[in-house]
Amino acid sequence: MAHETQYCNILNFGGGKRKGDDADDYCDSFVEPTFAHLQNNREIWLFSERKHATIQDLYLDDNHVNGLICGVAAFVGRKERNHNADPVIYMEVYKDSYDILLAPIVTGAHWYLAVFYINEKTVTVYDSMHSAVPSIFWPLKASIESILHIRFTLKNENNTVTLQKNEYDCGVHDFRNAEEICFHGKCNLINPYNAEAERARAREILRKLKDNEITDEWVPHVEHATDFIHLNKPSENVEEFVI
Protein backbone atom coordinates (compact mmCIF):
# COMPACT_ATOMS: atom_id res chain seq x y z
CA MET A 1 0.00 0.00 0.00
CA ALA A 2 1.47 3.32 -1.02
CA HIS A 3 0.97 6.26 1.27
CA GLU A 4 1.39 10.00 1.40
CA THR A 5 -0.03 10.67 4.85
CA GLN A 6 0.11 9.00 8.24
CA TYR A 7 -3.15 7.20 7.44
CA CYS A 8 -1.31 4.04 6.38
CA ASN A 9 2.28 2.99 6.50
CA ILE A 10 2.99 -0.06 4.35
CA LEU A 11 3.35 -0.97 0.71
CA ASN A 12 1.62 -4.18 -0.25
CA PHE A 13 0.97 -5.87 -3.57
CA GLY A 14 -1.25 -8.78 -4.49
CA GLY A 15 -0.26 -11.00 -7.38
CA GLY A 16 1.11 -14.33 -8.48
CA LYS A 17 4.52 -15.65 -9.45
CA ARG A 18 6.55 -14.35 -12.37
CA LYS A 19 7.09 -16.65 -15.36
CA GLY A 20 9.94 -19.06 -14.80
CA ASP A 21 9.59 -19.20 -11.02
CA ASP A 22 9.60 -22.58 -9.32
CA ALA A 23 6.09 -24.02 -9.49
CA ASP A 24 6.62 -25.73 -6.14
CA ASP A 25 6.75 -22.29 -4.51
CA TYR A 26 3.65 -21.08 -6.32
CA CYS A 27 1.43 -21.18 -3.26
CA ASP A 28 3.63 -18.60 -1.55
CA SER A 29 2.87 -15.96 -4.16
CA PHE A 30 -0.58 -15.17 -2.82
CA VAL A 31 -0.37 -13.10 0.33
CA GLU A 32 -2.99 -14.11 2.86
CA PRO A 33 -4.42 -11.37 5.10
CA THR A 34 -2.16 -10.94 8.11
CA PHE A 35 -3.10 -11.22 11.75
CA ALA A 36 -2.95 -7.42 12.03
CA HIS A 37 -5.38 -7.00 9.12
CA LEU A 38 -7.98 -9.36 10.56
CA GLN A 39 -7.60 -8.61 14.26
CA ASN A 40 -8.17 -4.89 13.81
CA ASN A 41 -10.35 -3.84 16.74
CA ARG A 42 -11.98 -0.91 14.96
CA GLU A 43 -15.45 -1.91 13.86
CA ILE A 44 -16.88 -1.06 10.47
CA TRP A 45 -20.10 0.84 10.99
CA LEU A 46 -22.95 1.41 8.57
CA PHE A 47 -24.22 4.95 8.19
CA SER A 48 -27.71 3.77 9.16
CA GLU A 49 -26.41 2.43 12.49
CA ARG A 50 -25.65 5.99 13.65
CA LYS A 51 -22.62 5.03 15.71
CA HIS A 52 -20.29 7.56 14.12
CA ALA A 53 -19.46 10.99 15.48
CA THR A 54 -17.95 12.24 12.21
CA ILE A 55 -17.87 11.04 8.62
CA GLN A 56 -14.20 10.10 9.18
CA ASP A 57 -15.37 7.42 11.62
CA LEU A 58 -16.88 5.59 8.64
CA TYR A 59 -13.65 5.45 6.63
CA LEU A 60 -12.10 2.03 6.10
CA ASP A 61 -8.51 2.03 7.32
CA ASP A 62 -5.48 0.26 5.86
CA ASN A 63 -6.09 -2.94 7.83
CA HIS A 64 -9.64 -3.16 6.51
CA VAL A 65 -8.72 -2.56 2.87
CA ASN A 66 -5.55 -4.67 2.94
CA GLY A 67 -7.39 -7.54 4.61
CA LEU A 68 -10.20 -7.48 2.04
CA ILE A 69 -7.95 -7.22 -1.02
CA CYS A 70 -5.44 -9.81 0.21
CA GLY A 71 -8.35 -12.07 1.11
CA VAL A 72 -9.96 -12.06 -2.33
CA ALA A 73 -6.60 -12.27 -4.16
CA ALA A 74 -5.55 -15.27 -2.07
CA PHE A 75 -8.93 -16.96 -2.57
CA VAL A 76 -8.80 -16.59 -6.36
CA GLY A 77 -5.17 -17.75 -6.30
CA ARG A 78 -6.09 -20.91 -4.43
CA LYS A 79 -8.96 -21.59 -6.82
CA GLU A 80 -6.65 -21.11 -9.79
CA ARG A 81 -4.43 -23.90 -8.46
CA ASN A 82 -7.47 -26.17 -8.06
CA HIS A 83 -8.00 -27.86 -11.42
CA ASN A 84 -11.50 -28.90 -10.35
CA ALA A 85 -12.61 -25.28 -9.95
CA ASP A 86 -15.26 -24.04 -12.37
CA PRO A 87 -13.31 -22.08 -15.02
CA VAL A 88 -16.34 -19.88 -15.73
CA ILE A 89 -16.73 -18.81 -12.11
CA TYR A 90 -13.02 -18.62 -11.29
CA MET A 91 -11.33 -16.87 -14.19
CA GLU A 92 -7.69 -17.66 -14.94
CA VAL A 93 -6.32 -14.36 -13.73
CA TYR A 94 -2.95 -15.47 -12.44
CA LYS A 95 -2.22 -18.63 -14.50
CA ASP A 96 1.36 -19.88 -13.97
CA SER A 97 2.74 -16.38 -13.46
CA TYR A 98 1.41 -13.19 -12.04
CA ASP A 99 -0.42 -11.15 -14.63
CA ILE A 100 -1.67 -8.44 -12.32
CA LEU A 101 -0.28 -6.41 -9.42
CA LEU A 102 -2.75 -4.67 -7.11
CA ALA A 103 -1.49 -1.62 -5.23
CA PRO A 104 -4.05 0.12 -2.98
CA ILE A 105 -3.12 3.77 -2.39
CA VAL A 106 -4.49 6.13 0.23
CA THR A 107 -3.71 9.83 0.17
CA GLY A 108 -5.68 12.78 1.48
CA ALA A 109 -8.00 10.28 3.23
CA HIS A 110 -9.09 8.87 -0.14
CA TRP A 111 -8.48 5.37 -1.53
CA TYR A 112 -7.29 4.61 -5.05
CA LEU A 113 -6.33 1.28 -6.62
CA ALA A 114 -3.32 1.17 -8.96
CA VAL A 115 -3.38 -1.99 -11.07
CA PHE A 116 -0.34 -3.02 -13.10
CA TYR A 117 -1.18 -5.36 -16.00
CA ILE A 118 2.10 -7.14 -16.63
CA ASN A 119 1.48 -8.70 -20.04
CA GLU A 120 -0.17 -5.59 -21.50
CA LYS A 121 2.43 -3.29 -19.89
CA THR A 122 -0.31 -0.91 -18.84
CA VAL A 123 -1.30 0.54 -15.48
CA THR A 124 -4.67 1.94 -14.47
CA VAL A 125 -5.57 3.95 -11.38
CA TYR A 126 -9.14 3.09 -10.42
CA ASP A 127 -10.82 5.87 -8.47
CA SER A 128 -14.44 5.89 -7.32
CA MET A 129 -14.47 9.70 -7.48
CA HIS A 130 -13.07 9.83 -11.05
CA SER A 131 -10.54 12.44 -9.92
CA ALA A 132 -6.99 13.12 -11.09
CA VAL A 133 -4.24 10.57 -10.56
CA PRO A 134 -2.64 11.26 -7.13
CA SER A 135 0.91 12.57 -7.08
CA ILE A 136 2.10 9.59 -4.97
CA PHE A 137 1.30 7.32 -7.93
CA TRP A 138 4.24 8.54 -10.01
CA PRO A 139 7.06 7.49 -7.64
CA LEU A 140 5.19 4.23 -7.07
CA LYS A 141 5.05 3.60 -10.84
CA ALA A 142 8.75 4.44 -11.18
CA SER A 143 9.64 2.01 -8.38
CA ILE A 144 7.66 -0.84 -9.93
CA GLU A 145 9.16 -0.17 -13.34
CA SER A 146 12.64 -0.23 -11.82
CA ILE A 147 12.00 -3.53 -10.05
CA LEU A 148 10.31 -5.32 -12.97
CA HIS A 149 12.29 -3.64 -15.78
CA ILE A 150 9.01 -2.86 -17.54
CA ARG A 151 7.73 0.51 -18.74
CA PHE A 152 4.00 0.81 -18.06
CA THR A 153 1.66 3.03 -20.07
CA LEU A 154 -0.99 4.79 -17.97
CA LYS A 155 -4.47 3.90 -19.21
CA ASN A 156 -7.66 5.70 -18.18
CA GLU A 157 -10.59 3.36 -17.56
CA ASN A 158 -12.97 5.57 -15.60
CA ASN A 159 -15.81 4.24 -17.76
CA THR A 160 -15.48 0.90 -15.92
CA VAL A 161 -15.48 2.36 -12.40
CA THR A 162 -18.68 2.72 -10.39
CA LEU A 163 -18.98 6.31 -9.19
CA GLN A 164 -19.05 6.82 -5.44
CA LYS A 165 -22.24 8.54 -4.21
CA ASN A 166 -21.23 9.43 -0.64
CA GLU A 167 -18.27 10.90 1.25
CA TYR A 168 -16.96 7.81 3.02
CA ASP A 169 -17.13 4.60 0.96
CA CYS A 170 -13.96 4.92 -1.14
CA GLY A 171 -12.39 2.01 0.75
CA VAL A 172 -15.35 -0.24 -0.03
CA HIS A 173 -15.18 0.78 -3.69
CA ASP A 174 -11.43 0.09 -3.68
CA PHE A 175 -12.07 -3.46 -2.51
CA ARG A 176 -14.97 -4.04 -4.93
CA ASN A 177 -12.87 -2.88 -7.87
CA ALA A 178 -10.05 -5.21 -6.78
CA GLU A 179 -12.55 -8.04 -6.37
CA GLU A 180 -13.87 -7.57 -9.91
CA ILE A 181 -10.31 -7.56 -11.25
CA CYS A 182 -9.34 -10.68 -9.30
CA PHE A 183 -12.31 -12.67 -10.58
CA HIS A 184 -12.64 -11.29 -14.10
CA GLY A 185 -9.28 -9.75 -14.99
CA LYS A 186 -10.85 -6.32 -15.41
CA CYS A 187 -12.94 -3.78 -13.53
CA ASN A 188 -16.68 -3.72 -14.21
CA LEU A 189 -19.44 -1.26 -13.44
CA ILE A 190 -21.70 -2.42 -10.61
CA ASN A 191 -25.30 -1.54 -11.37
CA PRO A 192 -27.23 -1.11 -9.25
CA TYR A 193 -24.76 -0.28 -6.51
CA ASN A 194 -26.35 -0.58 -3.06
CA ALA A 195 -23.84 1.30 -0.94
CA GLU A 196 -25.07 0.30 2.51
CA ALA A 197 -25.38 -3.38 1.57
CA GLU A 198 -21.93 -3.38 -0.09
CA ARG A 199 -20.48 -1.91 3.08
CA ALA A 200 -22.21 -4.55 5.20
CA ARG A 201 -20.94 -7.28 2.85
CA ALA A 202 -17.35 -6.05 3.22
CA ARG A 203 -17.78 -6.23 7.00
CA GLU A 204 -19.08 -9.80 6.72
CA ILE A 205 -16.19 -10.83 4.44
CA LEU A 206 -13.67 -9.56 6.98
CA ARG A 207 -15.44 -11.49 9.74
CA LYS A 208 -15.44 -14.68 7.68
CA LEU A 209 -11.75 -14.27 6.83
CA LYS A 210 -10.95 -13.74 10.51
CA ASP A 211 -12.90 -16.85 11.52
CA ASN A 212 -11.50 -18.96 8.62
CA GLU A 213 -14.99 -19.55 7.24
CA ILE A 214 -14.12 -18.98 3.57
CA THR A 215 -12.95 -22.21 1.95
CA ASP A 216 -14.58 -23.40 -1.30
CA GLU A 217 -17.10 -20.61 -1.86
CA TRP A 218 -16.62 -16.87 -1.89
CA VAL A 219 -19.20 -14.58 -0.26
CA PRO A 220 -22.22 -13.98 -2.56
CA HIS A 221 -22.65 -10.60 -4.18
CA VAL A 222 -25.23 -8.05 -3.09
CA GLU A 223 -28.55 -8.51 -4.86
CA HIS A 224 -30.88 -6.43 -2.72
CA ALA A 225 -30.48 -3.19 -0.78
CA THR A 226 -31.02 -5.00 2.54
CA ASP A 227 -28.50 -7.83 1.99
CA PHE A 228 -26.00 -8.31 4.87
CA ILE A 229 -27.40 -5.24 6.68
CA HIS A 230 -28.52 -7.13 9.77
CA LEU A 231 -25.25 -9.02 10.24
CA ASN A 232 -22.44 -8.02 12.61
CA LYS A 233 -24.29 -5.22 14.33
CA PRO A 234 -22.00 -2.91 16.34
CA SER A 235 -21.28 -3.45 20.01
CA GLU A 236 -23.92 -2.07 22.32
CA ASN A 237 -21.30 -0.34 24.47
CA VAL A 238 -20.42 2.06 21.64
CA GLU A 239 -21.93 5.46 22.33
CA GLU A 240 -24.51 6.44 19.76
CA PHE A 241 -24.10 9.65 17.80
CA VAL A 242 -26.52 11.25 15.38
CA ILE A 243 -25.28 13.79 12.87
Estimate the crossing angle of helix 62-81 against helix 170-184, to 10 degrees. 10
- Centre a 10 Å sphere on the Cβ of residue 75 and count the other Cβ atoms it contains: 24
**How confident is the model over 65-87, as a mean pLDDT?**
73
Instruction: Say what the pTM is.
Output: 0.80
**How confident is the model over 178-203, as a mean pLDDT?**
96
Q: Which pLDDT value is given to residue 122? A: 97
CA separation for the pair 69, 195 (Å, rounded): 18
DSSP alpha helix (H) spans, the chain: 35-38, 62-81, 137-148, 170-184, 195-210
Domains for the chain: give ranges and CATH numbers. Answer: 2-40+47-210 (3.40.395)
User: pLDDT above 70 covers what percent of the chain?
Assistant: 72
**How confident is the model over 39-63, as a mean pLDDT?**
90
**How confident is the model over 99-124, as a mean pLDDT?**
93
Q: Please answer whether residues 175 and 65 qualify as being in contact, where contact means their C-beta atoms are separated by less than 8 angstroms.
A: yes
For residue 80, which of 28, 117, 27 has the smallest C-alpha distance? Answer: 27
- For residues 236 and 86, the model is more confident at 236
CA separation for the pair 79, 216 (Å, rounded): 8
Q: Which pLDDT value is given to residue 18? A: 38
